[in-house]
Structure 1
Amino acid sequence: MNYRKIIFALIAITTISFNTYSQKIIQNVFDREAISLNGSWNYIIDPYQMGYLDYRQKPFDESKSGKGGFYDNLHNVSKETKVEYDFSNEPTLDVPGDWNSQDQRLLFYEGTLWYKKDFVIKPTTDQNYILYFAAVNYECHVYLNGKKLGTHKGGFTPFQFDVTSKLNDGENFVVVMVDNTRKKDEVPTINTDWWNYGGITRDVLLVSTPKEYINDYKVQLAKDNKKLIEGFVKVEGINSTQDVVVEIPELKIKSTFQTDNQGLVKFNIPVKKLTYWSPDSPKLYDVKITSKLDEVHDKIGFRTIKTVDKNILLNGKSIFLKGISVHDENPLLGGRLRSDADMRMLLTWAKELGCNYVRLAHYTHNERMLQLADEMGLLVWAEVPVYWTISWTNPETYANAENQLAVGIERDKNRASVIIWSIGNETPVNEDRNAFMGKLVDKVRALDDTRLVAAALEIEREGYKITVEDHLGDKLDLASFNEYGGWYWSNAKELPKYSYDIKFNKPVIISEFGAGALAGFHGDDDTMWSEEHQELIYINQLEMLDKMDGLRGMTPWILVDFKSPRRQNPVFQNFWNRKGLISNTGEKKKAFFTLQEYYKKKTKEYK
């Protein structure tokens, strides 16, 4: 009996049911009319889930009455009524933002916490209303005015609920139960090397649209064709054909297309003269899409990306990807990025380093981060949290991973900066993993055939020879892998002796290398944790890598120190991963300038 075929037949079935509650999200939500629900939210810490489960461990919201949980938001009750919670007298947390960095009691907290927000609206009958969450970590249950809207899993992807018929005229409240407990079968799984920030970590919006509205669209260059813009428009809420207009005023494009009776139209538009988006010239065009009742605007860049043998071609020209890895964390706060200013700070540091490229690891980053990358001219490797050891044979785990991947691709498909979809990081080689990851590759290609597909592959070492032949690489566009020579293996001074045998005729991207250093701690280059030791590893790494046939880019680990429960040395780490080139106080370490000089050299080589 072929158990692997049975497993993945089950996966296919499970994927269908999983996506029934992961509703397709509205495209470019920040261009929409919306009430922001950001700001102060009252919260209750609930480690025993007393607000969700009765004493028999059954959910209150599954009882006949549907009442009894914290989501009822009882307050100002009569003196005869016993209530064991009260949101109105609880403290507040800022949204967007994680709870760990806002309350010392919650620094290491993993468990359940309840949020509540009051708002006022006068809904009108000619509008739809969508409650949109940009990200909540990890599992959440959402209630509006005491009624359950639904649930969501996945700490980094957006989700939404149609609340058109559920709003009160006047006062309303939304309650969210959030649980960031790590679990073996989730994505990511129990073991990670970053802080498990819990909470409503990104924006919350109450979006209003016309009854018939443009829910989704794609406007990009066709695969390998610099002279043809293609895409689609999806109008929601109609059951007959309708005209839609796509305009790019600067290109003197104004084209009308007719949808089918489900509101979908695919189109293509020939173009003669176009300024192509690149890191040197991040040209964005104003794009306007109009339907009978709706209008949306976007800023979109146009470029092509492909590989030919061991070259990466951007707009037909060979490019070297001068990169750095980045976490979604503000080191100055020790918490998740909360604003455009936070995100711009990190990307500005990357530009100062000399980067034309960033790896947004190890999960889907904020939508605004991708829009800023478009604006600032930084190419992007975008990733999902299939990290280390996932439950490879669990159908629900696969469905979860595929869903997170698909939502990220759908959300960011119009961003010119995104050139690589990554399906995972440092996953151990075995047959089940290969089947799991192979299906993710197939999913990416089904959704988007215009970008590259990658993963951080495994390597093998024997003596001074490093072999890269992870069979997952057969399905990928890049020979991309992590290696920590001089830090986790070998000696820094031995690195120039190593050679690489890469079994793929593909461009080589070093997705991670690096070493830890405490900013301001100095010694000779043999002294662990010193800036000098980190600098030596960078010097010798770059000398070693420069000999590699097909090297076309790298994203060393990492731009900035970040928090991690795995890093416990009280003197040098204190729960910070110190591999950053910049410290958690914004101080540049010596290795920053080593890599900066290397990238200046690469810039001259690829002029």
Structure 2
Amino acid sequence: MKRTEYPRPQFVREKWLNLNGEWQFEFDDKNEGLVNNWNGLKEIEFTKHIQVPFVYQSEASGINDRSVHDVVWYKKQFFYHKNERAIVYLHFGAVDYEAMVYVNGQLAGTHVGGNTPFKFDVSNLLEDSGNQEVIVRVTDRHDDEEMPRGKQFWEKTSRGIWYTNSTGIWQTVWLEEVNQSHIDDLRYHIRYDEGMVNLAVRTLGSVKGESKLVYRISYQDEIVSQGEQLITSEVTTIAVDVIQGHIFSTNFHDDGRSWTPENPNLFDVELKLMLDDTVIDRVTSYFGFRKIHTKNGMVFLNNKPFYQKLVLDQGYWPKGLLTAPSDDDFIKDIDLAKAMGFNGCRKHQKMEDPRFLYWADVKGFVVWGECAAPPIYSERSVARLMLEWTEIINRDINHPSIITWVPINESWGVPNISHDRMQQHFSQAMYHYIHSLDNSRLVISNDGWAATETDIVAIHNYMHGQNSEKDKYNYYRESLFCKESLINNPSTAWPIFADGFGYQGQPILLTEFGGIAYEVSNQEGWGYTKVGSEEEFLEDYKRIMSAIYASKGLWGYCYTQLTDVEQEINGLLTYNRDPKCDLEKIKKINDGYHIPNVE
């Protein structure tokens, strides 16, 4: 089992080397590796072998050890012939949580944060002989409550809604060779109502006034725009007329080339950095032409009302845990969700691999991006989360499928936000900070309850009860009926807004509910409400969804959840992605709502 696909599909170069596969591995429970020069200063063979990028706790890693080890080491020896005229970057897709990276016995750099990529320029650390060695020391302290850990449990055995801990490398490791002058970054700024897009291209090492960017944008093999622009500063902006001859307005109906879940159209981009007539760097990319905004209590996609039918997706797999065993597993999850009539997902307490986002872009599947949360609030946890979100947006800003950011979930990491002004300030700071980096998406301040400033009022409510609990269900149904009842009678233990904040006319979505637990493999599992057969499962699903669709206050939902995960059996699918019922019947229920005509 090896992850061999290109790891960064939004920014592709031809020349790269995949370093996934077998590495040497060692636990360092006594934390003696640095003292004893495990970093490559001495010839030391580690006693275990691991399949990267799977964490040691997973079956796919070849180790499958669920016990807690706070410090681990990796070693990889490989052949790579050094090009003296090139820069070589060593990339890590994600390492949980603190990484120290050594190349041929020398420190290449360090990184803190378990969800985001990082790279080091290792050009001067490579051996001329071609024989190279990378060693990685990872620290992931299970008792560190200031660490954004999300659903990862701090004990050996998972329980309830908490899943197996993941330590170490869990996304692709790779080398990339570039010219001394190269394209470093590319951002798309969609100007939807003008029919235009701005390409902001950052170059490093280019000769200003002599180097130029040559670009080509195409749609289904038809060239939309091409040209060249002289480089006069570090960031070059290229303005492109994507939809020619159209005047956009709030009532505009696009010409069929916008990105939607039904028609996930993508524009292909080729960028070349040239000096004289020589191509010194080439990157291929893509973008989706779309706009998301709110107005009059509704969400609009491309200036049209957009009712979201989302499913909660934890992003765990039986063999790989946080790491999908293959690229096909991402495709399968999206296809199964769409087959049930969902048009997107909320990735819960995890920033997913860019390969998933690529397939969401290609297949038309909207995504809410959500980072893992720390268990407690402190100055350190705040700083860590802010850093992580900076890197999240740097990585994912160009994916059209992502339409909403969720920086806080159910007051995790801000337990006193309902009344603590300091924690409220943090929520507001995250809301404004994310918007200051990305003006193309919606931001939720606190998904579930105790909201501060927010673009969507996101409510969690599992109080629908069993089928036999008529009084409880009737109260649940009534509390969903209109905006006033949703805000004032939420059927939850917490207020919808934190002290000092109130409803400002935002769209209201029910972003966690359901959790119908149907055991199909004779496992002793945990769930919100349990049923005993496929018929009961479908009946209960229809019962709950009928209350959602009857609501005149909701503008979408997120059902809990796509799959079972370990001991949690709230999924529409089993942990192995086997349907628990006829998916067409789920789709028929989900297709029961149609957006009303709205001007």
Q: TM-score range by the shorter chain?
A: 0.7 to 0.9
Aligned residue number for residue 134 of structure 2? 174
SS in 1 for 2:574: coil
**Are residues 1:42 and 2:24 paired?**
yes
Aligned residue number for residue 366 of structure 2? 379
Aligned residue number for residue 94 of structure 1? 51
Report matched runs for 1:1-400 at 5 Å: 28-52=10-34, 60=35, 68-72=36-40, 74-75=42-43, 86-87=45-46, 90-102=47-59, 103=62, 106-169=65-128, 170-182=130-142, 183-188=144-149, 193-222=162-191, 224-238=192-206, 240-241=208-209, 242-249=211-218, 250-261=222-233, 263-273=234-244, 275-292=257-274, 293-331=280-318, 334=321, 336-386=323-373, 389-391=375-377, 393-394=378-379, 396-400=380-384
| TM-aligned CA distance change 1:252 to 1:540, over 3 Å | closer
SS in 2 for 1:364: coil
Amino acid at match of 2:228: T
Deviation at 1:294, TM superposition (A): 1.2
| TM-aligned CA distance change 1:592 to 1:478, over 3 Å | farther
CA distances 1:252-292 after superposition (whole Å, capped 9, x unpaired): 3013333334x212232223346111111111121111212
| TM-aligned CA distance change 1:186 to 1:491, over 3 Å | farther
Amino acid at match of 1:337: A
CA distances 1:183-212 after superposition (whole Å, capped 9, x unpaired): 111123777833321221110011111111
**Are residues 1:507 and 2:493 paired?**
no
User: 1-side partners of 2:79 and 2:591: how far apart?
Assistant: 54
**Are residues 1:496 and 2:480 paired?**
no
| TM-aligned CA distance change 1:378 to 1:537, over 3 Å | same
Aligned residue number for residue 585 of structure 1? 576
Which segment is superposed worse, 490-499 or 150-159?
490-499
Q: Are the aligned partners of 1:42 and 1:116 in contact in 2 as well (CA < 8 Å)? A: yes
State the Cα RMSD in Å.
Answer: 3.0
Deviation at 1:490, TM superposition (A): 11
Amino acid at match of 1:228: M
User: 2-side partners of 1:196 and 1:30: how far apart?
Assistant: 32
| TM-aligned CA distance change 1:488 to 1:198, over 3 Å | farther
Deviation at 1:546, TM superposition (A): 2.6
Q: Are the aligned partners of 1:380 and 1:419 in contact in 2 as well (CA < 8 Å)? A: yes
Which segment is superposed worse, 36-45 or 319-328?
319-328
| TM-aligned CA distance change 1:73 to 1:471, over 3 Å | same
Report matched runs for 1:349-498 at 5 Å: 349-386=336-373, 389-391=375-377, 393-394=378-379, 396-427=380-411, 428=415, 429=417, 430-459=420-449, 470-472=450-452, 475-486=453-464, 491=469, 494-498=472-476
CA distances 1:123-169 after superposition (whole Å, capped 9, x unpaired): 11221100000011112211111111222122111111111111112
Amino acid at match of 1:478: I
Deviation at 1:591, TM superposition (A): 9.3
CA distances 1:270-324 after superposition (whole Å, capped 9, x unpaired): 2334611111111112111121221110122111111112221111111111111
Deviation at 1:424, TM superposition (A): 1.7
| TM-aligned CA distance change 1:594 to 1:194, over 3 Å | farther
Aligned residue number for residue 545 of structure 1? 548
Gaps of 5+ in 2: 1-6, 155-160, 245-254, 275-279, 480-484, 488-502
| TM-aligned CA distance change 1:497 to 1:543, over 3 Å | farther
Deviation at 1:110, TM superposition (A): 3.7
Amino acid at match of 1:281: N
User: 1-side partners of 2:179 and 2:321: how far apart?
Assistant: 40
**TM-score with structure 2 setting the length:** 0.81
Q: Are the aligned partners of 2:183 and 2:201 in contact in 1 as well (CA < 8 Å)? A: yes
SS in 1 for 2:555: strand
Percent of aligned pairs with the same amino acid = 24
SS in 2 for 1:129: strand
Q: Are the aligned partners of 1:454 and 1:480 in contact in 2 as well (CA < 8 Å)? A: yes
**TM-score with structure 1 setting the length:** 0.80
Q: Are the aligned partners of 2:339 and 2:583 in contact in 1 as well (CA < 8 Å)? A: no
Q: Are the aligned partners of 2:339 and 2:584 in contact in 1 as well (CA < 8 Å)? A: no
User: 2-side partners of 1:96 and 1:295: how far apart?
Assistant: 27
Deviation at 1:595, TM superposition (A): 4.1
Q: Are the aligned partners of 2:448 and 2:512 in contact in 1 as well (CA < 8 Å)? A: no
User: 1-side partners of 2:273 and 2:504: how far apart?
Assistant: 47
| TM-aligned CA distance change 1:213 to 1:346, over 3 Å | same
User: 1-side partners of 2:85 and 2:290: how far apart?
Assistant: 39
SS in 2 for 1:202: coil
Q: How many residues align?
A: 527
More helix as a share of residues: 1
Gaps of 5+ in 1: 1-24, 53-59, 61-67, 76-84, 460-469, 564-575
Q: Are the aligned partners of 1:521 and 1:531 in contact in 2 as well (CA < 8 Å)? A: no
SS in 2 for 1:546: helix
Q: Are the aligned partners of 2:98 and 2:139 in contact in 1 as well (CA < 8 Å)? A: yes
Amino acid at match of 1:92: H
